[in-house]
């Protein structure tokens, strides 16, 4: 058992969120303030999506839209792909590679308790690099 690393052991616990009716500008302000690459989008306290830097580039910057007039719900990725805190890092890496995502919210019951990124996985278990690279190559 000593060789198995669980998601809960490497996830970032201080999850930042925005509401579905917050502006994209508010999401960007929060991402910049905390120097993070994504925020979880909630509706009535329930996680319903994620906004990443890529969402902002593709859905706001490229089409030259005003982030102050577009809502989080309009650019978020949904449905949310998640992982359980008790899943192994191997399982998380496979999900991320198969779904081609770099950030994976960690959910316990209905509550987001963390986020794990590809960087977290590689830092915790460098042998995962091969799995991630191989699965991303299938693209």
Residues 77-96 pLDDT 10s = 999 999 999 999 989 999 99
CATH number, domain 7-137: 3.10.580.10
Cα(18)–Cα(67) distance, integer angstroms: 14
pTM score of the predicted model: 0.85
Give pLDDT, residue 133.
66
Q: Check pLDDT > 90 for residue 135.
A: no
Between CA 50 and CA 137 the distance in angstroms is 24
Domain ranges within the chain, ordered by starting residue: 7-137
């Amino acid at each position: 058992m000593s060789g198995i690393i669980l998601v809960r052991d490497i996830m970032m616990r201080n999850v930042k969120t925005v509401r579905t009716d917050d502006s994209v500008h508010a999401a960007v302000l929060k991402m910049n303030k905390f120097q993070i690459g994504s925020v979880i989008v909630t509706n009535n306290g329930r996680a319903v999506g994620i906004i990443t830097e890529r969402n902002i580039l593709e859905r706001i910057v490229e089409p030259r839209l005003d982030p102050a007039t577009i809502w989080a719900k309009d650019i978020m990725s949904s449905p949310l792909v998640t992982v359980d805190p008790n899943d192994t890092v191997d399982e998380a890496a496979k999900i991320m590679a198969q779904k081609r995502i770099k950030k994976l919210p960690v959910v316990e019951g209905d509550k987001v308790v963390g986020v794990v990124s590809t960087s977290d996985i590689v830092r915790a278990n460098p042998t995962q690099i091969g799995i991630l690279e191989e699965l991303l190559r299938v693209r």
